[in-house]
Amino acid sequence: MTINSNKKATVSFESLLKIFTVPEGPESTLTQIESALSHNLNAFLNDHIVAEEKPLADIERDFAQAQIPDEPEFVSVHTDHLLEKVVAHSVHTASPHFIGHMTSALPYFLLPLAKVMTALNQNLVKIETSKAFTPLERQVLGMLHHLIYQRSDAFYAPLMHSASHSLGAFCSGGTVANITALWVARNHALPADGGFAGIAHSGLNAALRHYGYDDLAILVSERGHYSLKKAADVLGIGQNNVVTIPTDEHNRLDLAAFETTLTQLKQKNVCVFAVVGIAGTTETGNVDPLPAMAKICQRENIHFHVDAAWGGATLFSDTHRHLLRGIEQADSVTIDAHKQLYIPMGAGMVLFKNPSALQAIEHHAQYILRAGSKDLGSHTLEGSRSGIAMLVYSSLHILGRRGYQLLIDQSIQKAHFFARLISEQADFELVSKPELCLLTYRYVPHIAVKALAIATQEQQNKLNALLNELTIFMQKKQRENGRSFVSRTQLTPLRWSSYPIVVFRVVLANPLTTEDILRSVLDEQRHLAQQATSLLKMIEADCRAILDQS
């Protein structure tokens, strides 16, 4: 199918109407691609995504033109171009060898369902452009609310579709979910009061003046997601007022330090309006001491938000649900469906314990979101939104709670296997143990293991700096070679006296990742390390010096 049937694409209103009414022909490139995707997605991705990385600068040359082309292009010509320039150099996020980020393979049924969603092109900001999708999304929010808070049917029955209540808000992802939670918390802390109209109407400055605070703050462990600082900036709190609390050796918020900081801030007349607990840190996958944090927040009347964007899905598992104990006491919880719920990109949620909480950010307008309407847009940060809730709805039904439980259980099991495997190697160091399905490690040549064990602090730091360079070199090389992918981050383990250590970071959510693949990743990395010849020489020289001294 082309804009019209002539050899050269030209444009007339009649030909334009065709692109809205006449589908691609059965022999067209695009129809064939669609069919290949439906027939064998993994084969299509393996065949069309080039493994070895093309340098970014080379790719950029294909996307250099700022002028919008004046003349139309044949769909078939453009499709070939997309295959060669875009698909070929995209990232194979569904590959079982791609274990570096939280993006995984998707269940097959989601592809046709996503097509249905696109074809329906609903806008969930209001009922007039979404109808059944509005109660559907509300039910999905209700189901996730139940997953966390486990309230009775009698609780949900009058609330699920109430115009004056919201069990949560759907959004594009965890960042918007976190911003929404903190926005609600901020507005609740500084509400209307007598002649004062509240922060939502009068602004932060007037609110602090009215309530007599010197400033606002959010508390979170040093492992908090970067979106919290972004949220603090957006919300007018300021990034520096995200006060970070040190963590223990398991990357969990240190409760004593938390209490001390709280006291200090109170003495400074700073209003701590939100505390964020993490259920699955982005870097290490650990869970904060949620019950103790909840208790302190209740005592201090502080909004307790839990960022479970990634880890929240653990609640599906009877086996591992206990790891998130205390989450049911949170005032709000972030969960991303595009992470461990295996939904395509763009599906985040924030749930609120109190079904009236979202009234703190309620908005109305004349043409939509009229007061009393059930338009979802009156309680979301975003306006127009797609019907992606349908994909969550379908997955919750087709997989069922037990299906998700199996996925979670096998992910965590696989992470424990990989942790054992790493620990068994003489030349790898497990840096953070998996609590959920995430772990970090690094490559340490055997001689360096021995040298580090007896080195002075200064020698350790020097050696660790070299090892950091080695880790960065290996991670980049591994990505460029395209056989497998792990990500990297920087941690400050107590074992190395809080010196910043660069580590490989692995997320084992893809059900297609096998134990053999994990073995091959270590083999490949060991092999890659050998390519860093000059770095290895420097490391060896340093180690010899340390070992010779002793």
Binding-site member from 27, 52, 153, 548 for a second copy (CB under 8 A): 153
- Give the shortest CB-479-to-a second copy separation in angstroms: 7
80 binds a second copy (CB under 8 A): no
Provide the terminal-to-terminal Cα distance of the chain, rounded to the nearest Å: 76
**Contact mark string toward a second copy, 45..64, x via CB under 8 A:** x-------x--x--xx-xxx
**Helix, strand or coil for residue 350?**
strand
Distances (CA, A) of 476 to 194, 404, 467, 487: 59, 33, 14, 9
Binding-site member from 51, 256, 398, 454 for a second copy (CB under 8 A): 398
Measured CA to CA, the distance from residue 336 to residue 321 in angstroms comes to: 17
Q: Which stretch binds a second copy (CB under 8 A): 137-145, 246-254, 448-456, 523-531?
A: 137-145
Structure tokens at 166: 């919201």
Residues 464-483 touching a second copy, rule: CB under 8 A, are 479
Phi (first) and psi of residue 271, to 5 degrees? -85, 110
- Give the shortest CB-10-to-a second copy separation in angstroms: 9
The residues, ordered by sequence, that sit 6+ positions from 159 with a Cβ below 8 Å of its Cβ are: 142, 165, 167, 355
**Helix, strand or coil for residue 92?**
coil
Residues 360-389 touching a second copy, rule: CB under 8 A, are 361, 363-369, 374, 381-388
- Bridge partners, 243 (sequence order): 219
- Give the shortest CB-224-to-a second copy separation in angstroms: 10
3 binds a second copy (CB under 8 A): yes
528 binds a second copy (CB under 8 A): no
To 10 degrees, what angle do helices 533-549 and 446-454 make? 40
DSSP assignment letter at 76: H
258 binds a second copy (CB under 8 A): no
24 binds a second copy (CB under 8 A): yes
**Tally of CB atoms within 10 A around 398:** 12
143 binds a second copy (CB under 8 A): yes
- Bridge partners, 215 (sequence order): 270
Measured from the CB atom, the residue of 138 and 353 that comes closer to a second copy is 138
Q: Which stretch binds a second copy (CB under 8 A): 145-153, 415-423, 430-438, 515-523?
A: 145-153
The residues, ordered by sequence, that sit 6+ positions from 292 with a Cβ below 8 Å of its Cβ are: 255, 326
Q: Are 523 and 97 in contact (CB under 8 A)?
A: no
487 binds a second copy (CB under 8 A): yes
Measured from the CB atom, the residue of 386 and 542 that comes closer to a second copy is 386
Structure tokens at 292: 């103790």
- Give the shortest CB-94-to-a second copy separation in angstroms: 6
Q: Which stretch binds a second copy (CB under 8 A): 128-136, 246-254, 452-460, 515-523?
A: 128-136
Q: Which stretch binds a second copy (CB under 8 A): 154-162, 325-333, 420-428, 458-466?
A: 154-162
